[in-house]
Structure 1
Amino acid sequence: MASSWHSLVSQKIFLARTLLGQLDENESVPVREALAQGSIELALRARKLVLVMIARMYQEKQARPDSLRALSELLGDEIPETAELNQLAGAANSWWNHLEQLEQHQGNPPTAKKTVSDENVIAVSADPGPDRSKPALEQTLNAIKHFTDTLEERHSWW
């Protein structure tokens, strides 16, 4: 049963990559933004499906955990998958953390930019948000794919 979930995760990753592949081919700003946001949404969906895939691997046939915390509550922190995901969640440059940042950024309105005048010229670092570049998104998608392929391989003989 986990294999069908692996296929679904792989499909979302493939579709996200397909959208990313069209970024370079389009010069329209709204279309490029739609492609980037669509790719991110598919990657976020794949991440949630990874949690369901793991639950199914452990015979939780009805469970649909929607967060790492929910998965940990369901299966515990002792299994390798929750331990790995918790480690990824704590690592600043991990694919899990990158998706967390993207979800936070994409799920909130843009922050208001301060106007600059002669009276308030103070050097302030603006938060540009998470890296939404094509290479960064491709790297994250590749990492999710590698993670899920490893899980599928690890559990396929069961």
Structure 2
Amino acid sequence: MASQWHSLVSQKIFLARNLLGQLENSNSVPAKEALLQGTIELGLRARKLVLIMIARMYQHQHSQPDSLEALGELIGTHSPEIAELNQLASDGRSWWNHLEQLERHQGNPPMARKTVSSENVIAVAADTGPDRSKQALETTLGAMKHFIDILEDRHSEW
């Protein structure tokens, strides 16, 4: 049963990568933005499905945890998967954390920008949000795929 969930997560990652591959062939700004947002949404869906996949690996056939905390309550906070996901969540450069940042960014309206004039020019770094570059998204999707493949291998041995 967990293999079906692995296949579903793999499918979402594959589709996200497919959208990302079309980015270079897109000529319009709205089309590029649609491809980026579609890629991110598929990545976010895959991340949620990872939680369900892990719950199924622990024989919780009807549970659909929607957060790392809910999964921990379901399978126990001392399981290796929870430890690994907590480590990923605390690592600012991990695929889990990158998707967390993208979810916050994509789920909120854009920040209002101040107009720049000669009176109010101050040299400060503006918050541009998480890295939405093709390379960063490819890295995140690849790392997530690697993670689920390891989980599948680990649990299919049983």
Instruction: State the TM-score, normalizing by the size of structure 1.
Output: 0.98
| 1:119 Cα deviation after fit | 2.3
Which residue does the alignment assign to 2:74?
74
Please give the alpha-carbon distance, in whole angstroms, between the structure 2 residues aligned to 1:70 and 1:122. 44
- Residue 51 of structure 1 corresponds to 51
**1:14-70 residue CA offsets vs partner (Å, 9 max, x unmatched):** 000000000001111100100010000000000000000000000011110011111
Greater shift after overlay, 136-145 or 118-127? Answer: 118-127
Moved >4 Å (runs of 4+): none
Matched, 1:146 2:113: no
Structure 2 letter corresponding to 1:156: S
Q: Match for 2:32: what amino acid?
A: R
Q: Which residue of 2 aligns with 1:100?
A: 100
Matching residue of 1:124: 124
Q: Deviations over 1:75-125 (max 9, x none)?
A: 121000000000000001000000000000000000011111232222221
- Partners of 1:61 and 1:18 lie apart in 2 by 30
Q: Once structures 1 and 2 are overlaid, which stretch shifts more, 73-82 or 133-142?
A: 73-82
1:95 and 1:121 map into 2 onto residues whose CA distance is 36
Q: Which runs of 5+ in 1 are unaligned?
A: none
TM-score, normalised relative to structure 2: 0.98
Q: In the alignment, what sits opposite 2:23?
A: 23
Q: Once superposed, what is the RMSD of the aligned Cα atoms?
A: 0.7
Alignment size in residue pairs:
158
CA distance in structure 2 between the aligned counterparts of 1:125 and 1:10, rounded to whole angstroms: 37
Counterpart of 2:17, as a letter, is R
Q: What's the % identity of the aligned pairs?
A: 73
Query: 2-side partners of 1:88 and 1:61: how far apart?
Result: 25
Structure 2 gaps of 5+ residues are: none
Counterpart for residue 109 of structure 2: 109
